[in-house]
Structure 1
């Protein structure tokens, strides 16, 4: 039976500061999110404490953003992706930047003007976790009218979706060819954003989905040595392991004589501080210090197969309701 509902589309992403002035508000929005940092504090105390943390951290991290021109490219890249999709879908499509609070009022206004019976939502986070996709769903639940959230049909995740995997495989293959690297001489080091171990122990399936992505991508590279590790640990407490930094520092213990290490940001779809600074400056330098060669595959960003995967997911995905994605505390 043909679906005759009028549809609109929504891309949701992390967001990132567009200028030095937005670094502190970005960090405040991120660190005060109790889906990202879980404490037993009442919400007002959590916000008060982590606003102070954000103020101090903004001073330190501003130096890292300075390496990227004082801003993150993630906002512009997300908007460019949205423009490409509008042209192909010929339908209304909006973007939501979770930790860019200066954009939220405009988003709500644009969403109210989107007169569609159904809104299909795709998170630019391939692997589901309550700390990313779940956080956005909670924000929608809190700040949008229930009549709007009831229209939403989410693609929860697409960790092993065939066209998404194919996009990665061709992207990596093109990179290897460009750098004159053979499968048999490389380590494909897949680096995903980490989450606290507690999240997994309480039912978050993120690490399972990261492993599923890596297994699927590696099917195209039987001659390569593949590893999955997790980066960007923040604060005390144990996070999911192995940590990318530990894998890099101990690389001579397991590299099996291979001298070329290719970093692949498997949980990131657009480049930002974690790929352009953290991987480039912190992890690749460790590999080079061990006498090996280090490379970084750029994120998919505007890769044509990635765009095709999004269109397919919008049209064919297994959809769920907004309320199904929110962690109940």
Structure 2
């Protein structure tokens, strides 16, 4: 294994003062928001949108103590891995721009011969892992780039599947929900359909993870839908909100709907607020029980799985993870 590790994650505001910069960095990312506008025009437009949006979203962060827990969870996982593996473990938070200078400098200053980069996104997308690879290509010293060994994804890795299965089973046991009375509602973050048409494997990898996990729950029912859609563009279907609105078409009255965070290894606004406030009440109002299974966060099964994934996963280069902007959706989706 390499002699240093870099954990990369989405990042989230650590206080109210970082909400606007977080949204600006996210919405101005050309791998997340893809338009035909020149870069300067796109940045100008979405900086204004971020400024407006930050004023309305602040109350959602207030429900989480005016911050997202994802930063602290990522840092705690890094600390655990450093002790367990006796290796330097660095971190990078994609949408926390105030941390970038220090994080990139630490990577450039690291005297390791090779650095293993582990994205805390189990399923690969050019909008998540690929975005970080593009930023690294732009910001890191070329010598550092050559030292990066990426774990591209681990959506089908046995350690990930086994850990997720154990995590769900432990939750069902804690809630006294028999498997045959559970409908496991897997709700990964969605992406525009045009991303998939342009060659992004995200949807396929989500479906693979879902199928492998459900093979180990033969008595449970299940659903798969995609959440967090925004904007007018078509996104991959089915949509979580629409499935929730018609949940009685899919679930028997004696079942408990258990939301499963398939693509989220850390809880943050999409799970703690979106699922809790937008989806669960809609299901409950139709006379069904509904509950949210937490993300892995710092669970023992996840920490052990990460060590296994680090030790056994194939590696790839930074360059192979950066989206080719010339490949566009043919417009048939």
Query: In 2, Cα distance between the equivalents of 1:103 and 1:272?
Result: 18
Residue of structure 2 aligned with 1:120, choices 116, 139, 144: 116
Are the equivalent residues in 2 in contact too, given 1:188–1:224 (CA < 8 A)?
A: yes
Could you say which residue in structure 2 is the equivalent of 1:262? 258
- Give the alignment's Cα RMSD to 1 decimal: 1.0
Aligned partner of residue 188 in structure 2, secondary structure: strand
Are the equivalent residues in 2 in contact too, given 1:7–1:117 (CA < 8 A)?
A: yes
Which portions of structure 1, spanning 4 or more consecutive aligned residues, are displaced by more than 4 angstroms?
none
Could you say which residue in structure 2 is the equivalent of 1:21? 17
Query: In 2, Cα distance between the equivalents of 1:219 and 1:141?
Result: 39
Asked if residue 291 in structure 1 is aligned to residue 287 in structure 2, the reply is yes
Residue of structure 2 aligned with 1:308, choices 301, 304, 309: 304
Asked if residue 96 in structure 1 is aligned to residue 92 in structure 2, the reply is yes
Shift of 1:146: 1.2
Asked if residue 131 in structure 1 is aligned to residue 131 in structure 2, the reply is no
TM-score, with structure 1 as normaliser = 0.97
Could you say which residue in structure 1 is the equivalent of 2:7? 11
Query: In 2, Cα distance between the equivalents of 1:315 and 1:153?
Result: 12
Aligned 1:75-86 pairs, distance under 5 A: 75-86=71-82
Residue of structure 2 aligned with 1:156, choices 152, 159, 163: 152
Larger mean Cα displacement after TM superposition, 250-259 or 111-120:
250-259
Shift of 1:322: 0.1
Are the equivalent residues in 2 in contact too, given 1:18–1:75 (CA < 8 A)?
A: yes
Query: In 1, Cα distance between the equivalents of 2:275 and 2:6?
Result: 29
TM-score, with structure 2 as normaliser = 0.96
Query: In 2, Cα distance between the equivalents of 1:265 and 1:77?
Result: 16
Could you say which residue in structure 1 is the equivalent of 2:207? 211
Query: In 2, Cα distance between the equivalents of 1:237 and 1:203?
Result: 17
Residue of structure 2 aligned with 1:239, choices 235, 238, 245: 235
Deviations 1:224-243 (A, max 9, x none): 01111100111111000111
Aligned 1:136-215 pairs, distance under 5 A: 136-215=132-211
- Residue ranges of structure 1 left out of the alignment (5+ in a row): none
Are the equivalent residues in 2 in contact too, given 1:126–1:157 (CA < 8 A)?
A: yes
Could you say which residue in structure 1 is the equivalent of 2:247? 251
- Residue ranges of structure 2 left out of the alignment (5+ in a row): 326-333
Deviations 1:304-328 (A, max 9, x none): 2211221122222110000000001
Aligned partner of residue 222 in structure 2, secondary structure: strand
Are the equivalent residues in 2 in contact too, given 1:167–1:303 (CA < 8 A)?
A: no
Deviations 1:226-261 (A, max 9, x none): 111100111111000111101111110121344310
